[in-house]
Amino acid sequence: MDNSPYVRSVLKALHILDIFGFDDPLGEGFSLSELARRTGIAPNTLCKLLKTLVRAEYLTQDSRHRYHSSHRTCMIQMVTATHADLPDQIQQLIRTKSRHLAVPIYFTTLSFGERKMVLQTSDGARKGQAARFNAKSDDFIYTKPTGRILVSYANSSQLNDILGRWGLPENRWDGIHDLPELVQAREKIRQQGSCVMHEANFVLAVAVPVKAERCNFLGALGAAMTEEPEQRRDADALIVHLKDCAAQIAHVLST
């Protein structure tokens, strides 16, 4: 007997709408298989949910059987947005800094420990530079440092929500299996104020937090790029630039 106070099918439908609302900045939509990988929902159950959302006009389906946000979903997002031009302002800040560094920068917000919104530097960054370090096209670029920043700077209720929905993030923390180990790792990142990893295939990945206390906002700016084996990139210099961009974004969100 299920004693949960939640209606699971509603939670699943809202999870799907979250993906369309925040994870499709280029408006490409998603196939059934892509959504199944993202949500972890069995394809037969997912298909019924999607058909229901299409029937209710919250999603549409094109001739290629890809699902997209509908006019109704877009209108809800526009009405509920306090400042409709905020995403454009933030994206411009990221693009400016990205051009200055000649490195694609990615903006991620907290949603149950996963990325909720990605504002890309450009279409080319996704299809060109991002491919150099094997970022999957349906995952954008969710690096371990970005995930660690989001978990590290989450408040107690956000962290409890993450752990309750997803469990300990072992696959993104390499060897952390209990809460004390996670707390210790979080504290180290908070003291550093950033997270840097030299990953496989000479990939340097860096992330810093974006916080706006006034609106209880938590996000992360992340950058990943390939390094030449004989010439390591200066992570400290990159952190300084990312923190500068994060401060500008926080200012926009707070004002």
Both 158 and 125 in one domain: the answer is yes
Print the domain residue range for 43: 8-78
| Residue that is last in its domain, among 78, 106, 136 | 78
Task: State the chain's mean pLDDT as an integer.
Answer: 75
Count of domains for the chain = 2
Q: What are phi and psi of 195, to 5 degrees?
A: -140, 130
In single-letter form, the type of residue at position 230 comes to: E
| Same domain as 107, residue 165 | yes
The pLDDT assigned to 113 comes to 43
Q: What is the pLDDT of residues 181-194, one digit of tens each?
A: 888 989 999 999 99
Looking at residue 120, what is its pLDDT? 36
Select from 32, 53, 78 the last residue of a domain. Answer: 78
Residue 2 lies in a domain: no
Q: Which residues of 123-132 are buried (b: 16+ CB within 10 A; e: fewer)?
A: eebbeebbee
pLDDT of the residue at 230: 52
CATH of the domain at 30: 1.10.10.10
Helices and strands counted in the chain (H then E): 11, 7
Q: Answer with the one of 63, 78, 93 that is the final residue of a domain.
A: 78
Q: 59 and 178: one domain?
A: no
Q: Does residue 21 share a domain with residue 101? A: no
pLDDT in tens, 108-132: 776 544 444 443 333 334 333 333 3
Label residue 214 by pLDDT band (50, 70, 90): low
How far, CA to CA in Å, does 89 sit from each of 30, 122, 212, 222, 253?
26, 14, 15, 18, 10
